[in-house]
Amino acid sequence: MKKQIPIYFVLISGIVMLIQYFVPSEESEWLFTYANDWVIVVGIFALALGIWSLLRTEFKKLKNPKEAFYAGTLLFGYFIMVFTGLKREWLEAGHLHMDLFNNILIPIQATIFALLAFYVASAAYRAFRARTALATILLLTAFIIMLRLIPLGPISEVNQTAVGWILAVPNMAAKRAITIGVGLGAIATCIKIILGIERTYMGHD
Protein backbone atom coordinates (compact mmCIF):
# COMPACT_ATOMS: atom_id res chain seq x y z
CA MET A 1 0.00 0.00 0.00
CA LYS A 2 2.86 2.36 0.90
CA LYS A 3 4.28 1.75 -2.59
CA GLN A 4 0.96 1.70 -4.43
CA ILE A 5 -0.44 5.09 -3.32
CA PRO A 6 2.45 7.16 -4.77
CA ILE A 7 2.29 5.13 -8.02
CA TYR A 8 -1.46 5.80 -8.43
CA PHE A 9 -0.90 9.42 -7.52
CA VAL A 10 1.78 9.71 -10.23
CA LEU A 11 -0.46 7.88 -12.76
CA ILE A 12 -3.44 10.19 -12.18
CA SER A 13 -1.47 13.44 -11.97
CA GLY A 14 0.61 12.45 -15.02
CA ILE A 15 -2.48 11.82 -17.15
CA VAL A 16 -4.20 14.99 -15.85
CA MET A 17 -1.16 17.14 -16.73
CA LEU A 18 -0.91 15.44 -20.14
CA ILE A 19 -4.54 16.38 -20.87
CA GLN A 20 -3.93 19.88 -19.47
CA TYR A 21 -1.28 20.46 -22.13
CA PHE A 22 -3.89 20.16 -24.88
CA VAL A 23 -6.60 22.22 -23.15
CA PRO A 24 -6.11 26.01 -23.36
CA SER A 25 -9.04 27.01 -21.14
CA GLU A 26 -8.73 29.21 -18.03
CA GLU A 27 -9.39 26.25 -15.73
CA SER A 28 -6.55 24.36 -17.40
CA GLU A 29 -4.19 27.34 -16.99
CA TRP A 30 -5.19 27.58 -13.33
CA LEU A 31 -4.45 23.88 -12.83
CA PHE A 32 -1.00 24.29 -14.38
CA THR A 33 -0.19 27.27 -12.14
CA TYR A 34 -1.57 25.46 -9.10
CA ALA A 35 0.59 22.38 -9.78
CA ASN A 36 3.67 24.57 -10.21
CA ASP A 37 2.89 26.37 -6.95
CA TRP A 38 2.98 23.00 -5.22
CA VAL A 39 6.47 22.41 -6.61
CA ILE A 40 7.54 25.62 -4.82
CA VAL A 41 5.82 24.55 -1.58
CA VAL A 42 7.54 21.15 -1.67
CA GLY A 43 10.84 22.92 -2.45
CA ILE A 44 10.52 25.13 0.64
CA PHE A 45 9.96 22.13 2.91
CA ALA A 46 12.87 20.33 1.28
CA LEU A 47 15.07 23.41 1.77
CA ALA A 48 14.77 23.01 5.53
CA LEU A 49 16.00 19.42 5.11
CA GLY A 50 18.86 20.64 2.93
CA ILE A 51 19.98 23.28 5.43
CA TRP A 52 19.80 20.73 8.24
CA SER A 53 21.98 18.34 6.21
CA LEU A 54 24.49 21.09 5.43
CA LEU A 55 24.86 22.21 9.04
CA ARG A 56 25.04 18.66 10.42
CA THR A 57 27.71 17.60 7.88
CA GLU A 58 29.82 20.73 8.34
CA PHE A 59 29.68 20.62 12.15
CA LYS A 60 30.87 16.99 11.98
CA LYS A 61 33.72 18.05 9.69
CA LEU A 62 34.91 20.55 12.30
CA LYS A 63 36.19 17.58 14.31
CA ASN A 64 38.43 16.46 11.43
CA PRO A 65 41.64 18.57 11.40
CA LYS A 66 42.00 18.13 7.62
CA GLU A 67 38.56 19.58 6.91
CA ALA A 68 38.07 21.87 9.91
CA PHE A 69 39.34 24.99 8.13
CA TYR A 70 36.95 24.61 5.15
CA ALA A 71 33.98 23.65 7.32
CA GLY A 72 34.71 26.54 9.71
CA THR A 73 34.90 29.02 6.83
CA LEU A 74 31.60 27.74 5.42
CA LEU A 75 29.81 27.92 8.77
CA PHE A 76 31.22 31.39 9.49
CA GLY A 77 30.03 32.63 6.08
CA TYR A 78 26.66 30.93 6.51
CA PHE A 79 25.88 32.49 9.89
CA ILE A 80 27.19 35.93 8.87
CA MET A 81 24.86 35.95 5.85
CA VAL A 82 21.90 34.68 7.92
CA PHE A 83 22.30 37.23 10.71
CA THR A 84 22.99 40.18 8.39
CA GLY A 85 19.88 39.35 6.39
CA LEU A 86 17.37 38.82 9.18
CA LYS A 87 15.48 42.07 8.54
CA ARG A 88 13.84 42.81 5.22
CA GLU A 89 15.37 46.29 4.97
CA TRP A 90 18.86 44.84 5.54
CA LEU A 91 18.54 43.10 2.17
CA GLU A 92 18.67 46.44 0.36
CA ALA A 93 21.81 47.97 -1.16
CA GLY A 94 24.05 49.80 1.28
CA HIS A 95 23.61 47.28 4.09
CA LEU A 96 26.24 44.76 5.18
CA HIS A 97 24.37 41.75 3.75
CA MET A 98 24.31 43.11 0.20
CA ASP A 99 27.86 44.51 0.54
CA LEU A 100 29.12 41.04 1.41
CA PHE A 101 27.08 39.52 -1.42
CA ASN A 102 28.21 42.02 -4.06
CA ASN A 103 31.84 42.41 -3.00
CA ILE A 104 32.76 38.90 -1.89
CA LEU A 105 30.39 36.27 -3.25
CA ILE A 106 29.94 37.63 -6.78
CA PRO A 107 33.71 38.14 -7.41
CA ILE A 108 34.40 34.62 -6.09
CA GLN A 109 31.76 33.19 -8.44
CA ALA A 110 33.24 35.15 -11.36
CA THR A 111 36.68 33.76 -10.49
CA ILE A 112 35.42 30.18 -10.61
CA PHE A 113 33.67 30.88 -13.90
CA ALA A 114 36.92 32.34 -15.28
CA LEU A 115 38.64 28.99 -14.69
CA LEU A 116 36.66 27.81 -17.68
CA ALA A 117 39.01 29.68 -20.03
CA PHE A 118 42.01 27.62 -18.88
CA TYR A 119 40.06 24.37 -18.79
CA VAL A 120 38.82 24.90 -22.36
CA ALA A 121 42.44 25.14 -23.49
CA SER A 122 43.56 21.99 -21.64
CA ALA A 123 40.50 19.97 -22.74
CA ALA A 124 40.92 21.13 -26.35
CA TYR A 125 44.57 20.10 -26.31
CA ARG A 126 43.62 16.54 -25.33
CA ALA A 127 40.66 16.36 -27.68
CA PHE A 128 42.59 17.60 -30.71
CA ARG A 129 45.49 15.18 -30.47
CA ALA A 130 45.30 13.44 -33.85
CA ARG A 131 45.63 9.85 -32.64
CA THR A 132 42.86 8.36 -34.73
CA ALA A 133 41.18 9.17 -38.04
CA LEU A 134 38.13 10.61 -36.26
CA ALA A 135 40.28 12.80 -34.00
CA THR A 136 42.13 14.05 -37.08
CA ILE A 137 38.84 15.00 -38.76
CA LEU A 138 37.82 16.81 -35.54
CA LEU A 139 41.14 18.66 -35.47
CA LEU A 140 40.88 19.74 -39.13
CA THR A 141 37.27 20.87 -38.70
CA ALA A 142 38.12 22.86 -35.58
CA PHE A 143 41.08 24.42 -37.42
CA ILE A 144 38.86 25.55 -40.30
CA ILE A 145 36.26 27.01 -37.92
CA MET A 146 38.86 28.83 -35.82
CA LEU A 147 40.36 30.36 -38.99
CA ARG A 148 37.02 32.16 -39.45
CA LEU A 149 38.08 34.69 -36.83
CA ILE A 150 41.37 35.55 -38.55
CA PRO A 151 41.50 37.85 -41.62
CA LEU A 152 43.31 35.92 -44.35
CA GLY A 153 42.60 38.00 -47.43
CA PRO A 154 41.07 36.07 -50.32
CA ILE A 155 41.19 32.79 -48.35
CA SER A 156 38.73 34.25 -45.79
CA GLU A 157 35.89 34.25 -48.29
CA VAL A 158 36.41 30.58 -49.20
CA ASN A 159 36.81 29.74 -45.52
CA GLN A 160 33.57 31.54 -44.61
CA THR A 161 31.72 29.39 -47.16
CA ALA A 162 33.29 26.22 -45.75
CA VAL A 163 32.47 27.23 -42.16
CA GLY A 164 28.89 28.09 -43.15
CA TRP A 165 28.51 24.65 -44.75
CA ILE A 166 30.03 22.81 -41.74
CA LEU A 167 27.73 24.61 -39.29
CA ALA A 168 24.57 24.44 -41.41
CA VAL A 169 24.85 20.88 -42.76
CA PRO A 170 26.83 18.22 -40.82
CA ASN A 171 26.78 20.10 -37.51
CA MET A 172 23.06 20.92 -37.73
CA ALA A 173 22.20 17.37 -38.84
CA ALA A 174 24.00 15.91 -35.80
CA LYS A 175 22.39 18.41 -33.41
CA ARG A 176 18.91 17.69 -34.76
CA ALA A 177 19.48 13.93 -34.57
CA ILE A 178 20.47 14.28 -30.90
CA THR A 179 17.47 16.57 -30.25
CA ILE A 180 15.03 14.06 -31.77
CA GLY A 181 16.61 11.24 -29.72
CA VAL A 182 16.43 13.35 -26.54
CA GLY A 183 12.77 14.18 -27.24
CA LEU A 184 11.79 10.55 -27.76
CA GLY A 185 13.84 9.42 -24.77
CA ALA A 186 12.20 12.05 -22.56
CA ILE A 187 8.70 11.00 -23.67
CA ALA A 188 9.57 7.32 -23.14
CA THR A 189 10.85 8.09 -19.64
CA CYS A 190 7.67 10.07 -18.87
CA ILE A 191 5.49 7.17 -20.06
CA LYS A 192 7.52 4.75 -17.93
CA ILE A 193 7.06 7.02 -14.89
CA ILE A 194 3.31 7.49 -15.50
CA LEU A 195 2.79 3.75 -15.97
CA GLY A 196 4.83 2.98 -12.85
CA ILE A 197 7.55 1.08 -14.73
CA GLU A 198 10.22 3.57 -13.67
CA ARG A 199 10.16 3.99 -9.89
CA THR A 200 13.74 4.70 -8.83
CA TYR A 201 12.94 8.41 -8.35
CA MET A 202 10.75 7.30 -5.41
CA GLY A 203 13.59 5.28 -3.96
CA HIS A 204 12.05 2.01 -5.21
CA ASP A 205 13.48 -0.30 -7.83
Partner 1 sequence: MARKLLMSLFVLLLIFGTAGAQEAVQDTIGPPSPAPPTNIVVVDRPNDTGHGVLVNWALSADDGGGKDNVLAYEVYRADQADGEYVFRGLSVKGTGQYEDKDDSPRINDLPNPGFLITEKTYYYKVRAMASGGVYSEYSEAGSGQPMENWFHVGKIPILIGVIIFWVLVVYFIFMARKGTDYYVRPLAGINAVDEAIGRATEMGRPILFVLGTGTAGDIATIAGFTILARVAKLTAEYQTRVLVPVNDPVMFAVAQETVRTAYLEAGRPDIYNPDNISYETAMQFPYVAAVNGIMLREKTATNFYMGVFHAESLILAETGNIAGSIQISGTDQISQLPFFIAATDYTLIGEELYAASAYLSKEPVQVGTLKAQDWAKAILMVILFIGAVLISMNVSFIKDMVTVNL
Residue numbers of the site for partner 1 (CB under 8 A)?
Answer: 18, 21-26, 29, 39, 42-43, 46-51, 53-54, 56-57, 60, 66-67, 70, 105, 108-109, 112-113, 115-116, 119-120, 122-124, 126-127, 175, 178-182, 184-193, 195, 197-198, 200-205
Distances (CA, A) of 33 to 19, 26, 43, 136: 15, 11, 15, 51
Which residue, 99 or 157, has its beta carbon nearer to partner 1?
99
For the beta carbon of residue 70, count every other beta carbon within 10 angstroms. 13
Is-contact 71 62, C-beta < 8 A? Answer: yes
* Least gap, CB of 34 to partner 1 (angstroms): 15
- Give me the least distance between CB of 149 and partner 1, in Å please: 18
Residue 155 or 176: the one with the smaller Cβ distance to partner 1 is 176
User: Rounded to the nearest whole angstrom, what is the least distance from the CB of residue 116 to partner 1 in the complex?
Assistant: 6
Q: 107 or 154, CB closer to partner 1?
A: 107
User: Of 148 and 199, which CB lies nearer to partner 1 in the complex structure?
Assistant: 199
Q: How far is the CB of 152 from partner 1 (least distance, A)?
A: 25
Q: Of 91 and 191, which CB lies nearer to partner 1 in the complex structure?
A: 191
Closest CA to 194 of 14, 18, 32: 14
Other beta carbons less than 10 A from residue 134's beta carbon: 9
Report which DSSP code applies to 129.
-
Burial class from Cβ neighbours inside 10 Å (0-12, 13-18, 19+) for residue 148 reads middle
196 — phi, psi (to 5°)?
80, 15
